[in-house]
Structure formats: C-alpha cells, structure tokens
Amino acid sequence: MSESTHTTNPFSAVQTPAVGVKIQHLSKSFGTVEVLKDVSFEVQPGEIFVLMGPSGSGKSVLLKHIVGLELPTSGQVLVDGKDAAAEETREQVRMALVFQAGALFNSLSVYDNLALYPREHRVGKESEIREKVMRALQILSLDNAAAKFPSELSGGMRKRVAIARALVMEPQLMLYDEPTSELDPVMSATIAEIIATLKEEYHVTSIVVSHDRDLTLAIGERVGILMGGKLLFLGNGAELRAPKDPKIADFLSPKIDVKNPRFRQLET
C-alpha cells in the first residue's frame, strides 16, 4: 500500500482494525475460592459476544482479565493473539472497559471526563482531543451535555457518557459491564442500538455482559452463559431461544410461582 490515507473521521475503521479475543482454560481463585473454572471461548474480530450469567458467576472478573486488571491463576487470555496480562498488549491494542456504575468523575464536567484519558496519554494537541471528544459526544447524542456534571445527568445519560468516554480512545475492543442495568426498556433499547452501531460503523469487537435476554437476542451474535464460574452455554441466538440444559432454561425464563409462594432455593 502507498501512503496511509488521512481521514477526518477520528473513529474510522481504518484506524481501528478489529481484534479477536481467546480465553483458554482460564481459572481464577481469590484465596481458596475458585471464581472461574476452566473457561474457554473465542470472540471473533468485529463480533458482538454477550456474556450472561447470574450475579456472582464471575462475569466482571472475566472482563477484568481481558483488560489486564486481573491475572489468571491458570490458563491464558489472548487479545489479538497477545497475552492480555502483558503491559505491551495494552500499549499495542486499544481496549476500553465501560464499568457497570460508569465510574465517572463527579467533580469533572462531561467534557473533562471524556478528555481526561486522552490528555493523560497525550494522544494529541488539545484541539485534536477536542475534536475526538465532541465527535464521541455527537455519536451518543450528548452534544448538549458537554458542560454538565455527572450529578445533573439521568441514569441513561450517565451510561452514554461512560460509553462516549471509552470511545474517545478509539478502541478496537469494547467491553461493556451490564450497560443496561437500572435502565428502562426504551433506554435499554437505545444502548443496544448504540452497541450495534459501534460494531457496524467502527468495526469494534464488543463483549457485553448482560442479564437482559432481549438485548442479548437483539445484538448478540454469540452468547456464553457463566454459572458458578463455569461456561455452561456457548451458542448463537437460535440456540439460546431453545436451550437444552434445564439450568440454562430456568436462568433465562425462571418460572415464578405465586400460587404457592415460597422462596426458590438461593444459591450460597
């Protein structure tokens, strides 16, 4: 190829080739508690993979391994073929984790929340950072929120700001930890559309942790379900609609018995 083409779109596919993720026999213990048990799956470049599972099943811990915030007890996590635990990988592959609670800085405006990482990582001049920040705000329909503070935003806006902040770093890989929890169905649908748009237009590989069956069926190209630290299901939407394993079926569509009220057995 000749000289690389300059593009004014800061989120163009040219700048963000998608990357794949391989989880290979990943086990993780905290002290004597084994939280992830021999988990293996692959996420293809540009794919939307949804990871489901009950609370405490190890979903957030698994995401943290992909961005190198946790190290495997055994097994391996590869991002774009490189060890996720190695510092060089995070220098070579741009990845962003959108935390469940958003993790916005309350003392900073929306604009400054978005500009914080690019400034720290000196990705360019202030004018270039401004272009990226404003573009990310525009993509998420937050143009008018730049000067606002997190406390002034609705839950849905805070989730969008958290996504916009990740987007500013032009990630090749986006990880979303329960992006629709605590949102009403319409806002959840909007977030699902945003995730799908980022994949379609910017070829971002996406791993979405969610309990939301509708969101999963709408955007998930493949789905994994963790239960008690084990991957008990791996398949596509059609397979998710008709799960063979009764444990998976009950997780996806629990029968609520109010005629004969009693608590279902709670797992410890």
Ligand X SMILES: Nc1ncnc2c1ncn2[C@@H]1O[C@H](COP(=O)(O)OP(=O)(O)O)[C@@H](O)[C@H]1O
Q: What residue ranges bind Mg ion (CB under 5 A)?
A: 60
Strands 48-52, 33-43: pairing is: unpaired
Give the shortest CB-51-to-ligand X separation in angstroms. Answer: 9
Least gap, CB of 211 to ligand X (angstroms)? 9
Secondary structure of residue 59 in the 3-state scheme: helix
What 3-state class would DSSP assign to 124?
Answer: coil
Minimum CB separation of residue 56 from ligand X in Å reads 4
Closest-CB residue for Mg ion? 60
Answer with the entry of Mg ion, ligand X, none that 30 interacts with (C-beta below 5 to 8 A by kind). ligand X
Q: Quick one: 16 or 57, whose CB is closer to ligand X?
A: 57
Q: What is d(CA 173, CA 207) in angstroms, rounded to the nearest whole number?
A: 8
Say whether 233 sits in a helix, a strand or coil. Answer: strand
| Subset of 87-116 contacting ligand X (CB under 6 A) | none
Extract the tokens encoding 39. 């988990």
> Residue 100 Cβ, how far from ligand X at the closest point, in Å?
8
Q: Taking CB under 6 A as the rule, does residue 61 contact ligand X?
A: yes
Binding of ligand X by 35 (CB under 6 A): yes
The string of DSSP letters for 195-228 reads HHHHHHHH--EEEEE---HHHHHHH-SEEEEEET
Which of ligand X, Mg ion, none has residue 183 at its interface (CB below 5 to 8 Å by kind)? none
Token look-up 């300059």 returns 6
Rounded distance, CA 135 to CA 115, Å?
12
Among 11, 52, 60, 114, binds ligand X (CB under 6 A): 60
Smaller CB separation from ligand X, 45 or 56: 56
Residue selected from 57, 89, 190, 210 as contacting ligand X according to rule CB under 6 A: 57
The region, left, alpha or beta by phi > 0 then psi within -120 to 50, assigned to residue 210 is beta
In the list 11, 16, 26, 53, the residue contacting ligand X (rule: CB under 6 A) is 53
CB of 173 to ligand X, least distance (A): 19
- Shortest distance, CB of residue 52 to Mg ion, whole angstroms? 11
- Written as six digits, the tokens of 123 are 């990705």
Cα distance between the two ends of the chain: 58
The listed partner (Mg ion, ligand X, none) that binds 102, CB under 5 to 8 Å by sort, is none
Rounded to an integer, what distance in angstroms lies between the CA atom of residue 21 and that of residue 78?
6
Tell me which of 26, 46, 59, 176 binds ligand X, using CB under 6 A.
59
